[in-house]
Amino acid sequence: EADASVPLNLLPTVLLGTLNTTSGSTQTLSGLVLTPYKFITVVMDVVGVGGGAPPAFDVLLGGVIIGSGPPSIRKLTTLEMSSGFAFDGGSYLGATSYSTATTALVFTITGGVFAVGSIRVYGVK
């Protein structure tokens, strides 16, 4: 515990990447090797569209809505890698086509463009 010399590939949870959701309608985390992970955890931190009174919007992962706004989204979503099922807490959100063979995760926003926030993606063994 708290041993900085432990190689990252031996840790049970690893930060796979962070996306700054400040432009465009899609954000992609690519170059992933998801083979060792049973779950992917997605943390959306104040993700939203810009403007004074932002419109309603959804954030999708693999075609499944994983969050809705306005004003912005702070949420944790889990993706089970053997089925591709997305969950919010204990609630089933839908089936994606993602699996351990996936090399990129694509996040899409509807109702505007990404303007604020970030998305952190963790692999869980």
- What is the predicted pLDDT for the residue at 107? 97
- What is the predicted pLDDT for the residue at 50? 76
Closest C-alpha to 123, from 38, 49, 43, 3 = 38
CA 58 to CA 85: how far, in whole Å?
18
Lowest mean pLDDT across 49-53, 75-79, 91-95, 119-123: 49-53
Q: How many CB atoms lie within 10 A of CB 19?
A: 19
Whether the pLDDT of residue 55 is over 90: the answer is no
pTM for the full predicted model:
0.89
Strands 13-20 and 91-95 turn out to be unpaired
What are the CA-CA distances from residue 37 to residues 11, 42, 50, 57, 76 (Å)? 11, 13, 34, 30, 17
What is the DSSP-derived secondary structure letter of residue 10? G
Whether the pLDDT of residue 97 is over 60: the answer is yes
Instruction: Compute the average pLDDT of residues 77-86.
Output: 96
Whether the pLDDT of residue 2 is over 60: the answer is no
CA 51 to CA 79: how far, in whole Å?
31
pLDDT band, residue 4 (cuts 50/70/90):
low
Average pLDDT over the chain, rounded to an integer: 91
User: Interior CA angle at 43 toward 37 and 50, to 5°?
Assistant: 140
